[in-house]
Amino acid sequence: MKRVEATFPLPYYEIDAAWNIIAYSQEAEGLFGLPDNLTKIVDEGTYDKAREWVNFHRRKTVIEMNVIKENSDVILADVYITWTDEEKAELLLIPKDSQVDKVAASLKTLQSELLKTKTELIEEKERAEQVIEQNNKLSAPFISLNKETALVPLFGDLSYDKIMSVEHNLLEAVRESEAEELLFDFTAVGNIEREGFNYLASVLKALSHIGVELFVIGLKPGHVPNIFKWSLPEGVRFRQSLEQVISSKRSRREAEKDKQKET
């Protein structure tokens, strides 16, 4: 095994088809120690699910897994998996005790509240509208991956009201973070409404005007026809996954290092 420099400060692994760990990041070592095989950090309750999804037939995917830290604590993590060929895969783990987990917990609480008040919506219309608005605001969290790059995972249907609710907080977060790259992740998006898409396009245009480099990742096949029919602002780039963006950045950095060595 060898330790590699990860693009983002997150646990990263390279594995072979038998799940043997080929390479790992400093963050992975800090959280999980030095296991020689991925099975050493996969919790028993998640093992069957992991076996089903972490294989070459699932070329690019994201799953939730329970993973075991070096101190034996079990945590939930989003695992982004990309197979580069039949014998090698790259894994990026985002622990759910991060900002993503806090957002997900808040969304779950709000969904429970909505369910309880469903039969009282007529009498409590104003209260229900406030809950929905708050839910919308949590549907596009701003997650800083490092000083230069941030991730904005979008949840649920893409509607006009939802984008209007998150616009102010999103623009403020970008200004405060000074992020240069922003990745909009459509992995958890359901239906895309025309008005919601147009509103999102206007937000992306505003971000491009202040010099932010924009990426759209995680598009589903059902999203693609409307995305290209309605079109996003010029300069927005499309990538299949977060891993592809990471791989591109790593390749650019290695190329820059090689160029510096030559000079």
For strand 181-192 and strand 213-217, is the pairing parallel, antiparallel, or unpaired?
Answer: parallel
Domain ranges across the chain:
2-95, 98-138, 139-263
Axis crossing angle, helix 99-116 with helix 125-137, rounded to the nearest 10: 160
In which band, very low, low, confident or very high, does the pLDDT at 28 lie, cut at 50, 70 and 90?
very high
Q: Is the pLDDT of residue 100 over 60?
A: no
What's the CA gap between 37 and 223, in Å, rounded? 37
What's the CA gap between 248 and 263, in Å, rounded? 23
For strand 181-192 and strand 149-158, is the pairing parallel, antiparallel, or unpaired?
Answer: parallel
Cβ(4)–Cβ(28) under 8 Å?
no
Q: To which CATH superfamily is domain 139-263 assigned?
A: STAS domain (3.30.750.24)
- High-pLDDT (> 90) share of the chain, %: 44
What's the CA gap between 39 and 19, in Å, rounded? 7
Q: Is the pLDDT of residue 99 over 60?
A: no
- High-pLDDT (> 70) share of the chain, %: 84
Q: Is the pLDDT of residue 106 over 70?
A: no
Q: Is the pLDDT of residue 102 over 60?
A: no
What's the CA gap between 47 and 89, in Å, rounded? 17
Q: What is the pLDDT of residues 124-156, one digit of tens each?
A: 666 656 665 555 555 568 888 888 899 999 988
Q: What H or E segment, with its residue span, contains residue 186? A: strand 181-192
What's the CA gap between 218 and 190, in Å, rounded? 12
Q: What is the pLDDT of residue 2?
A: 87
Strand partners, 143: 151
Written out in words, the top-level CATH class of the domain with range 2-95 is: alpha beta
